Chains A and B, each alone.
Chain A
Amino acid sequence: MDTRDVGDALEATGVTVRAAGDGDEVAGVRPRWVALPESAEEIAVVMRVCAAHDLAAVATGGGTKLHWGAKPDRCDVLVDLCCLNRVPEHAAGDLVVRAQAGVTVEALARALAEEGQELALDVPVPGTTVGGLLATGIAGPRRFRHGTARDLLIGVTVVLADGTIAKSGGKVVKNVAGYDLGKLFTGSYGTLGIIADATFRLHPLPAARAWVTATVERPVTETGQVMSAADVLLTAVPAVTESPLEPSAVEIDWPDVEGPCTVAILVEGAAAAERGKTLCELMGEPMGGTAEVAEEPPPWWNRLPSSDDDTLLELRIGVSSLPHLLPVMRQAADASGARPAIRGSLAAGTLHIGLRGLPHEIAGFTGLVRDDAEGMFGGRVVVLAAPPEAARRLDRWGHAGALHLMRRVKERFDPDRRLSPGRFVGGI
């Protein structure tokens, strides 16, 4: 392939294109060009040039965290969606918003708050764009009440590898016309197509919020001879989730497995303070009388338990198994030498684990926890992010039941494997 011809062809699209620099690397792979389309049509022209010249493309939104994914097999063009940054439609009376892929979640939240509304998703990574949010399917504490991005998405426009622009869903919440491509694209890590815009259902901002926090000072013991934190959680969490008080989130923060852990519960609504008080009583007893109500979240709320150079795992498991898995994590930490920091939803059964340690320690920890989580409790452990040295020793995805069907979907959408090749499950 003649680089100059390709460069000319990209130039001729009229879309802003520049030569890629060091800062544009995708997990260590440097693209040759960065394209900055300003509309779905412009994405489509770029994709058509890519198709004509067999160029591999990776989409990026905020871009700061791109290196965290698996390394793409190849990447010629980075499609940077930062210029698709408008909110073309906010129909407040319909509780619906359409936003372009490059809008950051913070900017969107500001626009919606002006009308007393919100996208009821917590996004734990500052700077996340709507496209990145959907492509990674990331979610925070309130997943327990509102689900994840897929549950609030009601329409998408996508651009396929061959430049086809397609939409599904629409701008009404209730709609069963046709297949729901939005579901398919949510969590697809840019491997099926590029998301150009998305329409979401909104919620009114709650009149008030209250957080009930309680700390278990006793660490989780290995053997559980003394009443351990795990036992405490075994009684305290169901008491909360089975109460009719409808918490929006039930989160745990356990920054060091040798130390105490904190549980925080969010309630939302006009009567939040009152419900918070009742929850406090409910929690106080099993948790040893330390529960408190506050109007502000604890500082760790809706933050990932990892920093940039850590490995980040996501554990998904039935909620009743979670307390059993806490001692397992402590054992795995002792056995492997890795240092986990754990945070996540006790009510939805999704925990994030930030890991520090040497690559073999991280691999050891991941293996032990995955064996137990998958083997004994039917859970899943996914490696969301890992530094390259650690990544080499890790199976990022673990078990995926319908992998061959996923491959077939990929083959239909991107037969030449030009979109983020190699970044996804099973090498998709």
Chain B
Amino acid sequence: MSELERLTARLAAVLPPDAVITDPVRLRTYECDGLTHHRATPGVVVLPEGAEQIAAVVRLCGEHGVPFVARGAGTGLSGGALPRTDGVLIVTSRMRRIVEIDIPNRRAVVEPGVTNLAITEAVRGQGYYYAPDPSSQQVCSIGGNVAENSGGAHCLKYGFTVNHVLAAEIVTPDGEIVELSAQDPGYDLLGAFIGSEGTLGIATKITVRLSRAPEAVTTLLAAFTGIEAGGHAVSAIIAAGVVPAAIEMMDALAIEAAEAAVHCRYPAGAGAVLVVELDGPRAEVEHQFAAVERICRDSGAFEIRVAASAEERAAIWKGRKSAFAAVGRISPAYIVQDGVVPRTALPRVLAGIDRLQEEYGIRVANVFHAGDGNLHPLVLFDDSVPGEAERAEAVSGRILDLCVEHGGSITGEHGVGVDKARYMPRMFTGDDLDTMQLVRCAFDPRGLANPGKVFPTPRLCGEVPGVRRGAHPLVEAGLAEQF
């Protein structure tokens, strides 16, 4: 009998009867996340209903030396929730309670399985919302957002998950329930946990900050003949001291795809479109709008549309939001890439991507969060043509090289997961990665929490040499001297 089987036999004692899945057919529904070409059938799946149950499962994993992986909604795009065939997949889909909404203190406490959008929906009526807005917000879970430090189109102005989470109750890889709070003195373990992709434990309750809905929102679509002019407009907007809520850009191929898929009716002949959203106090938005409109015209926009209503705003966003799925209309298969470059390097990097397209004979549609230089090149290929998938993969990797060469990052929001662990050494030295893994060793010395993700080579933690565990005896004796 394997350790996994021994462990599985004990799960019934700590979980409700229908919360353990071992049926191979049902197991297969969990074999991948949004990065579908990495698949593995989980050893066993559990559907716990609370932190105590997760803690019990994690303790069993510890006793049997079996790895565990957390999964929220499975929309991750880097294979972070890729299961282990020799491990337990802990799915939070039954933990969907909004525990508390506290408007006077601008916060809400939710379970990890609650969707991102559900928080906003619960407080919208009172004039509030939860700011980070990944495009997957209708389905992705707040637990997954915490693990990935997810952003969204509006993170240019409002920041990421880490800027909006005030506390998290977590189950540590030891199976202990611990509260990490921004308010507590001491190390910012909350900040370190957010974005750790499930490798430091499992978030079981999350306190998020609620933001006041802005008084005014203005959305504008500007069409340019080419991507350079659009890029120029972006730089000029930033240089003018405007921080829009969002600046998104699409190139001709991405526009073509969106047109085919959702008939977004972006201006004909556009080689690039910019979507700029401004929000805030009405008086400020008016000032900023005037500046942005002028800059777009000066940069060569041949058409500018301004949304006058929520419907018109949705129409402008429709093309942008559908872009990933839309390329399915113009290509049998595609890779969604997620690199970041300093905004000022955008023109050079886009030119570099053009050269790669020619060199490899592979088309790339560009969609990006232009305001913060986060590119989502969609690398298009036909998987029925021999060798094309490999060439697409090569282009995708070379794009990351371009990003790193220009001082950027290999991932802006989709995370490292299994997909990019091998690219980490292009951005970080061995010492950098080893130092990060000291945190891992502190939380999870045996490496049972989501192993194989984020880091290309796991660091062997070992025992800490010559270290006294626990408090100093003098402190324990009540002598406050050490405080």
> Which residues of chain A have a CB within 8 Å of any CB of chain B?
70, 73, 91-96, 116, 137, 147, 150-151, 158, 160, 164-168, 170-181, 183-184, 186-188, 192, 203-205, 207, 238, 241-242, 244-246, 269-271, 274-275, 316-321, 349, 379-380, 382, 392, 394-409, 411-413, 415-416, 422, 424-428
In whole angstroms, how far apart are the Cα atoms of A416 and B104 in the complex? 46
Collect the chain B residues with CB atoms within 8 Å of residue A70's CB: 483
In whole angstroms, how far apart are the Cα atoms of A425 and B467 in the complex? 18
Collect the chain B residues with CB atoms within 8 Å of residue A178's CB: 416, 424, 427-428, 432-433, 436, 454
Are the C-beta atoms of B436 and A181 separated by less than 8 Å? yes
B337 within 8 A of A: no
B442 within 8 A of A: yes
Within 8 A of A (CB), among B96-119: 102, 104-107
Q: Closest residue to A207 on the B side, CB-wise?
A: B241
Are the C-beta atoms of B341 and A177 separated by less than 8 Å? no
In whole angstroms, how far apart are the Cα atoms of A327 and B385 in the complex? 75
**Which one of B280, B342, B432, B442 contacts A246 once the chains associate, using CB atoms below 8 Å?**
B280
Q: Would you give 23 A-B contacts (Cβ < 8 Å), ordered by A?
A: A166-B435, A166-B436, A167-B432, A168-B432, A172-B342, A174-B373, A174-B374, A176-B412, A177-B409, A180-B194, A188-B188, A204-B243, A269-B280, A269-B283, A318-B102, A320-B104, A380-B185, A402-B186, A405-B172, A405-B189, A405-B443, A412-B464, A416-B466
Collect the chain A residues with CB atoms within 8 Å of residue B442's CB: 405, 408-409, 411-412
In whole angstroms, how far apart are the Cα atoms of A281 and B415 in the complex? 47
B8 within 8 A of A: no
Q: Closest residue to A397 on the B side, CB-wise?
A: B185
Known contacts A184-B191, A242-B127; decide if A174 and B372 are in contact (CB<8 Å): yes
Are the C-beta atoms of B185 and A177 separated by less than 8 Å? no
> Which residues of chain B have a CB within 8 Å of any CB of chain A?
102, 104-107, 127, 148-149, 151, 155, 159-160, 162-163, 172, 178-181, 183-192, 194-196, 212-215, 235, 238-239, 241-243, 280-281, 283-284, 286-288, 340-344, 369, 372-374, 407-416, 420, 424, 427-429, 431-436, 438-443, 454, 461, 464-467, 469-472, 475, 480, 482-483
Residue among B184, B190, B373 facing the most chain A CB atoms (10 A cut-off):
B184
Are the C-beta atoms of A402 and B184 separated by less than 8 Å? yes
Known contacts A160-B435, A179-B436; decide if A402 and B105 are in contact (CB<8 Å): no
Are the C-beta atoms of B415 and A400 separated by less than 8 Å? no
Are the C-beta atoms of A164 and B435 separated by less than 8 Å? yes
In whole angstroms, how far apart are the Cα atoms of A406 and B179 in the complex? 12
Are the C-beta atoms of A91 and B344 separated by less than 8 Å? yes
Collect the chain B residues with CB atoms within 8 Å of residue A164's CB: 431, 434-435
Are the C-beta atoms of A402 and B155 separated by less than 8 Å? no
Known contacts A164-B431, A174-B413, A244-B215; decide if A319 and B105 are in contact (CB<8 Å): yes
* A101 CB, nearest partner CB in chain B, Å: 17
Collect the chain A residues with CB atoms within 8 Å of residue B480's CB: 392, 394-395
Q: Closest residue to A238 on the B side, CB-wise?
A: B104
Known contacts A166-B432, A204-B241, A244-B212; decide if A270 and B284 are in contact (CB<8 Å): yes
In whole angstroms, how far apart are the Cα atoms of A425 and B407 in the complex? 36
Are the C-beta atoms of A181 and B435 separated by less than 8 Å? yes
Q: Closest residue to B373 on the A side, CB-wise?
A: A172
* A129 CB, nearest partner CB in chain B, Å: 20
In whole angstroms, how far apart are the Cα atoms of A380 and B239 in the complex? 41
Are the C-beta atoms of B192 and A183 separated by less than 8 Å? yes
Are the C-beta atoms of B439 and A397 separated by less than 8 Å? no
Given known contacts A173-B373, A401-B181, what 18 new A-B pairs fall within 8 Å (CB)?
A172-B341, A174-B160, A181-B192, A181-B439, A187-B186, A204-B241, A318-B107, A319-B105, A380-B184, A396-B483, A400-B184, A402-B178, A405-B178, A413-B438, A422-B482, A425-B186, A426-B186, A427-B472
Known contacts A415-B465, A424-B186; decide if A171 and B284 are in contact (CB<8 Å): no
Are the C-beta atoms of A175 and B409 separated by less than 8 Å? yes
Are the C-beta atoms of B483 and A166 separated by less than 8 Å? no
In whole angstroms, how far apart are the Cα atoms of A214 and B162 in the complex? 34
* B374 CB, nearest partner CB in chain A, Å: 5
Q: Closest residue to A379 on the B side, CB-wise?
A: B183
Known contacts A405-B172, A408-B442; decide if A170 and B409 are in contact (CB<8 Å): yes
In whole angstroms, how far apart are the Cα atoms of A376 and B189 in the complex? 25
Residue among A137, A275, A317 facing the most chain B CB atoms (10 A cut-off):
A275
Q: Closest residue to B172 on the A side, CB-wise?
A: A405
Are the C-beta atoms of A244 and B443 separated by less than 8 Å? no
In whole angstroms, how far apart are the Cα atoms of A181 and B433 in the complex? 11
**Which one of A245, A349, A395 contacts B281 once the chains associate, using CB atoms below 8 Å?**
A245
In whole angstroms, how far apart are the Cα atoms of A184 and B437 in the complex? 13
Q: Closest residue to B155 on the A side, CB-wise?
A: A174
Are the C-beta atoms of B465 and A176 separated by less than 8 Å? no
Collect the chain B residues with CB atoms within 8 Å of residue A245's CB: 215, 281
Are the C-beta atoms of B420 and A177 separated by less than 8 Å? yes
Collect the chain B residues with CB atoms within 8 Å of residue A403's CB: 186
Are the C-beta atoms of A205 and B411 separated by less than 8 Å? no
In whole angstroms, how far apart are the Cα atoms of A406 and B339 in the complex? 33
**Which one of B159, B189, B409 contacts A172 once the chains associate, using CB atoms below 8 Å?**
B409
In whole angstroms, how far apart are the Cα atoms of A165 and B179 in the complex? 31
Are the C-beta atoms of B189 and A406 separated by less than 8 Å? yes
**Which one of B238, B373, B467 contacts A411 once the chains associate, using CB atoms below 8 Å?**
B467
Q: Closest residue to A178 on the B side, CB-wise?
A: B436
Collect the chain A residues with CB atoms within 8 Å of residue B107's CB: 318
**Which one of A91, A95, A96, A183 contacts B162 once the chains associate, using CB atoms below 8 Å?**
A183
Are the C-beta atoms of A400 and B149 separated by less than 8 Å? no
**Which one of A170, A269, A316, A400 contacts B408 once the chains associate, using CB atoms below 8 Å?**
A170
Are the C-beta atoms of B482 and A409 separated by less than 8 Å? no
